[in-house]
Amino acid sequence: MPAAEPSWWETAVVYQVYIRSFADGDGDGIGDIAGLRTRLPYLAELGVDAIWINPWYPSPMADAGYDVSDYRDIEPAYGTLGDAQALIADAHGVGIRVLLDIVPNHTSDQHMWFRAALADEPGARLRYHFRPGRGPGGAEPPNNWQSVFGGPAWTRLADGSWYLHLFAPGQPDLNWAHPEVRAEFENILTFWFDRGVDGFRIDVAHGLVKQDGLPDADESVETAQSLVQDRAGHPAWDQDGVHDIYRGWRAVADRYTPERIFIAEAWVDGNERLARYLRSDELHTAFQFDFLRTPWRARALREVIDDAIAAAASVGAPPTWVLSNHDVTRTVTRFARSQPHHLIETDWERGRWADEDPDHELGRRRARAAALVQFALPGTAYVYQGEELALEEIEDLPDDVRQDPTWAQSGFTDVGRDGCRIPLPWTETDVPYGFAARSDAVTWLPQPTHWAQHSVQAQERDPRSTLNLYRRALALRPSLWRDGSAIRWLDVTDGVAAFQRGGVQCWVNTGHSGVPLPPAATVVLASSDLTGDVLPPDTAVWLRSQ
Ligand code: GLC
């Protein structure tokens, strides 16, 4: 019997739209739905199957929209519910599915529920985690948990009580043991599914349930700080009770045709823990972040690829490949410096692991090669806006324009994530490079003065640009890499990783010298120019083997 055709989401390329920085339709310097609608043809031409839109709900923007004050409406700076409906219809019209970002771990402190809690309305505080403090006069936080953004995970109100926020103080954590919380979120899912949304990326999916009694964390894993830390054993993360919530969500999604799907953002201790979120009655896929933590070394790449595929296969889910997102240093810059062995420290992720000057040209070569590896792998691939333009992290933003709460909460020691969130350059003009409908618009984060050359317009003209490489790769991917999920590693020289799927091979050279390609192979696509039949350093190639 022939194998069933995979569902779209099992092989999809999903483009992440960071809406604030994608395209600005009204000229206020902030991206919006109108801007996104005008750029849908660009996304269709790029060849993506779906978009994931970062939170677009009303928000005081304590954390760039991850502090939601109303889950059933649109942030006025981004548009209206009517605009959202039109966007969903337009996207579907050009064959692009729409995934939203749901933020269930916390609300905004301006959410109706938290305002009721602040006013101490009867029962309102039970929807959050309110506790008395410790020590004399209750002046110490209730436990030793640290916020991901720095400082204690607790804030004290004027009446002396403390509330929990694993992120910013403007993001109070919900109490998921409360039945109203569960019911409310199932209802929110229904609200958007009814409007045609194809699925959700689940923010902090591993955080919803806290260990009973909120015990102190063991000193050895004492901090929750950093999104990328090894969380094993911390009572705030990856508690077994969270799975029951997702079984409920899956039941909601399964009521709909066509399929509605979930993607978990779950920073957990290894792929085995992650696979638990993907059991058949839970979520469809989850981001596997090891790929983006991997240094530019063939052997390390091979290990994370094998591990990700095996873990996903153990629960029958497709693996996922992420090189970048709005929380980590852009790929070009990660690859623009020397490559240490252990890449899970925050400092490394944020590109400040050394005082080395970045070599962006080297970073670009490697990022292009990494993209060809990413698109050759089985499963789903995520592209963060601007990756297709090979944009680099902007590391020298003036301190007074920084918006990420990490900056202040870390006591001005951690610059945070603004550098990967700069508005996109569309045209070769001066700033704002066609990002905004008005040429005198002041963008919410300043763009660098040298980005005209990286704009969409400049890259469309250049056949060797990264944009054109992405377009070609995505056009070829469905037919070329269609065959099965198994990959077979080829026995090649050190510093090179090479695998075969069906009749096609992908080779990547992370070493320092050129490597001969197999004589009878035909090159289908290369990330940089080849020298004869030699694969140069920091280059990947797709080959048809004879
Ligand atoms: C997720 C988001 C990140 C946000 C955090 C808190 O990790 O990706 O941007 O700051 O959750 O909601």
Output the domain CATH number for residue 45: 3.20.20.80
| Ordered alpha helix ranges (H), 69-126 | 81-93, 112-118
Range of the domain at 390: 8-107+178-471
Structural domain includes residue 477: no
**Confidence (pLDDT) at 267:** 86
Residue where one domain finishes, among candidates 471, 497, 527: 471
Residues 191 and 333 in one domain: yes
Residues 197 and 276 in one domain: yes
**Pick from 421, 422, 402: which is nearest to 412 by CA?**
402
How far apart CA 256 and CA 259 sit, in angstroms, is 6
**Residues belonging to the active site:** 203, 265
Q: Write down the mean pLDDT value for the chain.
A: 93
How far apart CA 381 and CA 13 sit, in angstroms, is 5
Interstrand relation of 154-156 and 162-164 (parallel, antiparallel or unpaired) = antiparallel
Residues 380 and 281 in one domain: yes
Residues 60 and 148 in one domain: no
Residues 368 and 277 in one domain: yes
Residues 119 and 135 in one domain: yes
Q: 502 C-alpha vs ligand 1 centroid, how far in Å?
A: 38
**Confidence (pLDDT) at 223:** 46
Residues 246 and 344 in one domain: yes
**Confidence (pLDDT) at 414:** 85
Residues 258 and 149 in one domain: no
- What is the number of domains present in the chain? 3
Residue where one domain finishes, among candidates 471, 503, 521: 471
Tell me whether residue 56 is exposed, middle or buried, using C-beta atoms within 10 angstroms of its C-beta: 0 to 12, 13 to 18, 19 or more: buried
Residues 148 and 27 in one domain: no
Q: How many helices (H) and strands (E) does the chain have?
A: 16, 18
Tell me whether residue 235 is exposed, middle or buried, using C-beta atoms within 10 angstroms of its C-beta: 0 to 12, 13 to 18, 19 or more: buried
Residue where one domain finishes, among candidates 445, 471, 497: 471
**Pick from 258, 312, 321, 239: which is nearest to 280 by CA?**
312
**Confidence (pLDDT) at 232:** 66
Q: 203 C-alpha vs ligand 1 centroid, how far in Å?
A: 6
> Residues of the chain whose pLDDT is less than 50?
1-2, 221-230, 344-351
**Confidence (pLDDT) at 268:** 87
Read off the amino acid at residue 544: R
Can you tell me whether residue 134 is helix, strand or coil? Answer: strand
**Confidence (pLDDT) at 352:** 54
Q: 149 C-alpha vs ligand 1 centroid, how far in Å?
A: 10
Structural domain includes residue 479: no
How many other CB atoms are there within 10 angstroms of residue 402's CB atom?
18
Residues 129 and 210 in one domain: no
H/E stretch holding 479 reads helix 466-480
Residues 414 and 386 in one domain: yes
Output the domain CATH number for residue 508: 2.60.40.1180
Structural domain includes residue 85: yes
Q: 456 C-alpha vs ligand 1 centroid, how far in Å?
A: 28
| 106 Cα nearest atom in ligand 1 | 12
**Confidence (pLDDT) at 3:** 55
How far apart CA 181 and CA 173 sit, in angstroms, is 11
Q: Which residues line ligand 1 (CB under 6 A)?
A: 63, 66, 103, 167, 203-204, 227, 265, 326-327
| 167 Cα nearest atom in ligand 1 | 6
How far apart CA 14 and CA 375 sit, in angstroms, is 11
| 67 Cα nearest atom in ligand 1 | 12
**Confidence (pLDDT) at 231:** 58
Residues 203 and 130 in one domain: no
- Return the residue whose CA atom lies nearest to atom 2 of ligand 1: 203
Structural domain includes residue 531: yes
Can you tell me whether residue 43 is helix, strand or coil? Answer: helix
**Confidence (pLDDT) at 5:** 80
Output the domain CATH number for residue 149: 3.90.400.10
**Confidence (pLDDT) at 396:** 92
pTM of the model: 0.96
Structural domain includes residue 173: no
Q: Which of 16, 19, 171, 204 to mutate to test the pocket of ligand 1 (most atoms within 8 A of CB)?
A: 204
Structural domain includes residue 76: yes
How far apart CA 116 and CA 69 sit, in angstroms, is 13
Structural domain includes residue 2: no
